């Protein structure tokens, strides 16, 4: 079931192209690598994406402290991709349903995750009965919906959660100029949106506390200055890694510094200017 009426055609086309890239990976000898090249920064090296996935998962686990998902509960994994959040929830004994508009992503989710249910659906409307779930998780999903569709999606999620149900949301809180598939909000704007649609905030965690991506963009611009060949953005960076050894040297130097520095920022509670925020939300009423 699909409902794409609130999604512009170019945005729908972009995500379908993103999904179709997975078809070429069906014969990979290490299929777990698909997770790290699809579900985060598309096509980027596995160690790069593992860094950002580590901090996302840390934030979600910290939000769960004191209110862990319980065995036998039902959870909805929104924009599930290859199913990494469904697998995390299943570790707590939770029954999961993953939804995504990508047919190939769901094929990989079934291959990598023998348990759980999977369906081709897309926000802002989903074909489940009222109160079907105890939990829902949306990691970097709402930020890819136009602002009007974000409003619809939050109303839909409230409908699908049982009274007392909980929602994990992790979204971009900084403006990304010139990126047509991103619709971020400042943190107060996200929180006003949640409250407007019947959710109260139970906890927050900063993610990417230090400006790693903006820093890397500046470094890439410096190294590639004067070059007019090839794509820009994530696609250009991924192509750069494929054709040169030098970005790999920089990547491992970056990781050697970034893990302890980001960890120190988390330990000190530094959150001013964090690129992302994760929220634990409770359904009111």
Residue 145 scores a pLDDT above 50: yes
pLDDT per residue as tens digits for the range 165-205: 999 999 999 887 678 889 999 999 999 999 999 999 999 99
Domain assignment present for residue 90? The answer is: yes
Q: pTM above the 0.85 mark?
A: yes
Residue 25 scores a pLDDT above 80: no
Per-residue buried b or exposed e for 182-210, using 16+ beta carbons within 10 Å of the residue's own CB:
ebbbebeebbebbeebbbeeebbbbbbbb
Sign of the CA dihedral 253, 256, 257, 263?
positive
Domain assignment present for residue 183? The answer is: yes
Domain assignment present for residue 278? The answer is: yes
pLDDT per residue as tens digits for the range 122-135: 888 899 999 999 99
Say what the pLDDT of residue 255 is.
Answer: 93
Q: What is the CATH number of the domain that holds 200?
A: 3.40.50.150
Contact 159, 271 (CB under 8 A): no
Say what the pLDDT of residue 56 is.
Answer: 97
Domain assignment present for residue 113? The answer is: yes
- What's the rounded Cα separation, in Å, for the pair 131 and 146? 25
Domain assignment present for residue 226? The answer is: no
Residue 209 scores a pLDDT above 90: yes
Say what the pLDDT of residue 37 is.
Answer: 76
pLDDT confidence tier of residue 235, bands split at 50, 70 and 90: low
Domain span at 139: 9-209+271-283
Domain assignment present for residue 61? The answer is: yes
Domain assignment present for residue 21? The answer is: yes
Domain assignment present for residue 140? The answer is: yes
Rg (CA), the chain: 19
Residue 21 scores a pLDDT above 80: no
Say what the pLDDT of residue 73 is.
Answer: 97
- What's the rounded Cα separation, in Å, for the pair 138 and 276? 13
Average pLDDT over residues 265-281: 94
Looking at the chain, the whole-number percentage of residues with pLDDT higher than 90 is 57
Say what the pLDDT of residue 46 is.
Answer: 87
* More confident: 230 or 276: 276
Say what the pLDDT of residue 87 is.
Answer: 95
pLDDT per residue as tens digits for the range 245-254: 777 888 899 9
> Total domain count for the chain?
1
Per mean pLDDT, which range of 21-25, 69-73, 154-158, 274-278 is the poorest? 21-25
């Amino acid at each position: 079931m699909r409902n794409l009426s609130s999604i512009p055609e170019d945005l729908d086309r972009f995500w379908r192209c993103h999904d179709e890239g997975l078809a070429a990976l069906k014969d990979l000898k290490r299929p777990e690598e698909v997770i790290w090249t699809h579900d985060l920064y598309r096509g980027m090296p596995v160690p790069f994406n593992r860094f950002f996935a580590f901090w996302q998962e840390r934030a979600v686990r910290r939000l769960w402290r004191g209110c862990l998902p319980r065995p036998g509960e039902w959870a909805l994994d929104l924009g599930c991709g290859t199913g990494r959040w469904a697998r995390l929830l299943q570790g707590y004994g939770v029954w999961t349903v993953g939804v995504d508009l990508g047919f190939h992503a769901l094929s990989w989710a079934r291959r990598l995750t023998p348990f759980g249910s999977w369906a081709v659906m897309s926000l802002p409307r989903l074909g489940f009965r009222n109160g079907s779930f105890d939990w829902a998780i949306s990691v970097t999903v709402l930020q890819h919906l136009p602002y009007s569709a974000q409003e619809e999606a939050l109303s839909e999620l409230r409908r699908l959660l049982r009274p007392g149900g909980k929602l994990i949301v992790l979204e971009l809180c900084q403006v990304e100029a010139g990126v047509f598939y991103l619709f971020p909000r400042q943190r107060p704007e996200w929180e006003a949106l949640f409250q407007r649609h019947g959710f109260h905030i139970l906890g927050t965690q900063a993610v990417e506390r230090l400006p790693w991506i903006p820093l890397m963009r500046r470094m890439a611009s410096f190294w590639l200055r004067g070059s007019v060949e090839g794509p820009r953005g994530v696609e250009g960076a991924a192509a750069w890694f494929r054709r040169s050894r030098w970005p790999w040297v920089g990547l491992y130097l970056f990781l050697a510094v970034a893990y302890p520095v980001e960890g120190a920022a988390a330990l000190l509670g530094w959150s001013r200017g964090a690129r992302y925020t994760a929220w634990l939300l409770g359904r009111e009423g």
